[in-house]
Copies of this chain bind each other. A is one copy, B any other.
Amino acid sequence: MSLRTDADSIIREAIEAVLPDRAVMKALGELKLPDRDGKVYVVAIGKAAWQMACTAQRLLQGKIEKGVVITKYGYAKGELPGFQIFEAGHPVPDENSFEATGYAVSMVKDLKAEDQVIMLISGGGSALFEIPLCDSGSLQDITKQMLACAADITEMNVIRKRISAVKGGRFAQIAAPAQIYAVVLSDIIGSPLDMIASGPVYPDASTNEMAWEIVRKYHLKLPEDVRKLLDMETPKQCGNVTTKITGSVDELCDAAADACRKLGYEPVILTSSLNCIAKEAGSFLAAVARKYQDSKKTVAFIAGGETVVRLTGNGLGGRNQELALAAAQGIGETRDTVIFSVGSDGTDGPTDVAGGIVDGHTAELLKEKGWDICEALRRNDSYHALEACGGLIKTGPTGTNVNDVACILIKR
């Protein structure tokens, strides 16, 4: 059972390292806010906005002139001294999004060069933080067209940024000449700063020309006001912004590696941007585990990212559970080896668990209980298979979301 205990403590420590409060504390500590004459304002947006603001408020007690929290309905947990708290629509922006964003804009639009804005950005910010430059009918129309033609998220953002008053670096322009310190809790692999919350304080890498190319590609029919907006270029520089990414899947992997090291494992981070099919990733990791069976070292291999489930049945499960179950098939007969995979938000697919954990006995145990792993994977029923062999990992909702981490532990 010692491997399972090790796994539990690695999972706990890795997730704790990327919780919003820890992440904000670490980032603000590293940012070393200069002691300036100006005033400090806080704008917190996204699903973790309230927790992030709460931590900032505690850390910078008395130094904050004014703050605003814009989060999803039900995600605010009470008042914060000096803060205006808004809840708004997600994933579809609503009037509250526009009102809240308007409040943030009015708060920062007349600042001086010695003032500072602390932006606390988390996933979900795209919908919550928005003021459209076109009328709301046009916005809905163009959104529907893009969804209908299956434009990808990158393409949608190229258009969206151009019809927004705050996205694509425009909020940074509004707050200038004040200095902005952005702390970003990343929920997108690779942490592309212009994608997270649509990059309100990050220079936009896309161009008007790219926007028009997308319009032509999908034969989008643009309302007249949107046509004009597509000719207005977004900021290509945000000289007044310093950004600190925190709580990313990279930190999740690093924290897992630290936890492994503390327990005597020699950790190797294989990747922090895994994006292949979940059960193939499980098969790959099992193949790695087999290679190190004869090694005399206590080792750990860590792979962070977000795999993909291909639906071929209507069972219950999630990408982390599929990865683990597929790995079980490949590590039958290995000894003193476990493979686990968990989502840092504590929720894997539409289930009440964070992921799955398997070892060299799992495949045999399942066979004894009448389970066929291939068939369970085909039915996407990893939850029930893992339930049958004690392979489910429950953490409860963690309050953060920075993708997943999978890990091979081999103890000698």
Contact residues of A with B, CB < 8 Å?
190, 268-277, 280-281, 283-284, 287-288, 290-291, 303, 305, 330
Contacts and interface: CB of A to CB of B under 8 A. Distances in A.
Contact of A270 (B269, B281, B291): B291
**5 shortest A-B CB distances, which residue pairs?**
A280-B280, A276-B283, A271-B287, A276-B280, A271-B291
A275 B287 contact: yes
Contact of A269 (B281, B291, B330): B291
A283 B279 CA distance: 13
Contacts of A274: 284, 287
Stoichiometry (number of copies):
2
Given A269-B291, A275-B283, A287-B303, 15 more contacts: A270-B270, A270-B287, A270-B288, A270-B291, A271-B287, A273-B290, A273-B291, A275-B287, A275-B330, A276-B283, A276-B284, A277-B280, A280-B280, A281-B284, A284-B284
Nearest to A253: B291
Secondary structure call for the A interface: mixed
A253 to B, nearest CB: 9
Contacts of A303: 287
Contacts of A272: 291
Contacts of A280: 276-277, 280-281, 284
A287 B268 contact: no
Nearest to A292: B271
Contacts of A270: 270, 287-288, 291
A266 to B, nearest CB: 12
A149 to B, nearest CB: 17
Nearest to A283: B276
Nearest to A190: B290
Contacts of A288: 270-271
Nearest to A278: B280
A293 B63 CA distance: 40
A62 to B, nearest CB: 39
26 contacts: A190-B290, A268-B268, A269-B291, A270-B270, A270-B287, A270-B288, A270-B291, A271-B288, A271-B291, A273-B287, A273-B290, A273-B291, A274-B284, A274-B287, A275-B283, A275-B287, A275-B330, A276-B280, A276-B283, A276-B284, A277-B280, A280-B280, A280-B284, A281-B284, A287-B303, A287-B305
A290 B288 CA distance: 18
A276 B269 contact: no
A168 B281 CA distance: 35
Contacts of A277: 277, 280
A340 to B, nearest CB: 17
